[in-house]
Amino acid sequence: MKTEILTLLRETDGYVSGQELCEKFGVSRTAVWKAINQLKEAGYEIEAVQNKGYRLVSVPDILSESELQSVRKTRWIGEKIAFFDVVDSTNTRAKQLAEEGAPNGTYVIAERQDAGKGRRGRGFDSPAGQGIWMTLVLKPEIDPNHASMITLVTALAVSKAITDMTGRPAGIKWPNDIIMSGKKVCGILTEMSAQFDYVNHIVVGIGVNVQNKSFPKDIESVATSLFIETKEHYHRAELVERIWEAFEHYYEIFLQTEDLSGLVNEYNSHLVNMHQQVKVLDPKEPFEGKAMGITPKGELIVDTWESRKLVSTGEVS
Ligand code: BTN
């Protein structure tokens, strides 16, 4: 009910009468009044004028299910949203839900994570109200060997959404860090449960630093936020929506061929170190060369002084 009223108030430029709300949702005036009060308590500024009705004046920067559903324009992502004030890790929670039967496109989102997970066993700082900590459940019928490319699809979607929203370039550092002014603004952690030839589920975790004004000492030289970069506060629910819209678009292109052939050019245009000298931190033998973009399988092409190498795992700096 709150979600429906909020959606209608959002869509209406002006006032929506109490009568209209009652008729549209088949509820009493008292029920409408109660829902409006709950919205006000959650931080929505709603003007009520006699003989005119209700008008939405401003919205708070919260990630409740009602808020997220009322801005949702995606086709299948977010039909089910699991919101938590605090959670250990949205990836852990998403895996549990996927095992319990949550459908493809469900996502988990939290205001705070107290055990946020990064790649390679690292932690991920996820303070309350400062960012977007969310994980999407996918159940694709694809070869498990192709699943790692979904991380690059996600990086492209986040890069596009942030660039469009802020008007500032948010590039990709291969394979999946999102970078602004040389620092990381978003990390992505994809995990999979699969049989030899069958994907049970994939969870795609995305952590975007949005409102942070500072970071813990150990990461302050490498981390940034949208606020630090632009001195503006962005409405997180709107960015969530933009990320999922972009993801739906790119993911459907990926599914057509089960590779990145339809996305290579766009991915490369967002690559921060395209045509630049990079260090490949290969655990066996680190080497340097010029990054030349990705292959349709998502490998990074690196030209060294002696040969062309394809990097499929690891990190570059
Ligand atoms: C990395 O860059 O190391 C990956 C960071 C991924 C962080 C996100 S926040 C939402 C989701 N839940 C987690 O525990 N991790 C991912």
- Of the pLDDT bands very low, low, confident and very high (cuts 50, 70, 90), residue 171 is very high
* Å from CA of 117 to ligand 1 middle: 5
| Domain contains 316 | no
Q: Is 218 in the same domain as 86? A: yes
Cα 182 to ligand 1 centroid, rounded to whole Å: 19
C-alpha distances in angstroms, 153 versus 26, 147, 201, 255, 257? 42, 10, 16, 11, 13
CB atoms within 10 A of CB 232: 12
Is ligand 1 within 6 A of the CB of residue 205?
yes
Q: Give the span between the Cα atoms of 102 and 99, in whole angstroms.
A: 7
How many CA atoms does the CB half-sphere of 103 hold within 13 Å? Answer: 7
Shared domain check, 139 and 28: no
Q: Which amino acid is at 214?
A: S
- Contact between 263 and 253 under an 8 Å Cβ cutoff? The reply is yes
Residues 139, 259, single domain; the answer is yes
Residue whose CA is at the smallest distance from ligand 1 atom 7: 207
261 and 277 in one domain?
Answer: no
pLDDT tens per residue across span 7-29:
999 999 999 999 999 999 999 99
Indicate whether this complex's ipTM tops 0.95.
Answer: yes
- CATH, residue 26: 1.10.10.10
Single-letter amino acid, residue 62: I
Instruction: Assign 315 a pLDDT band (cuts: 50, 70, 90).
Output: confident
Q: How many angstroms separate the CA atoms of 163 and 180, rounded?
A: 10
Q: How confident is the model at residue 186 (pLDDT cuts 50, 70, 90)?
A: very high
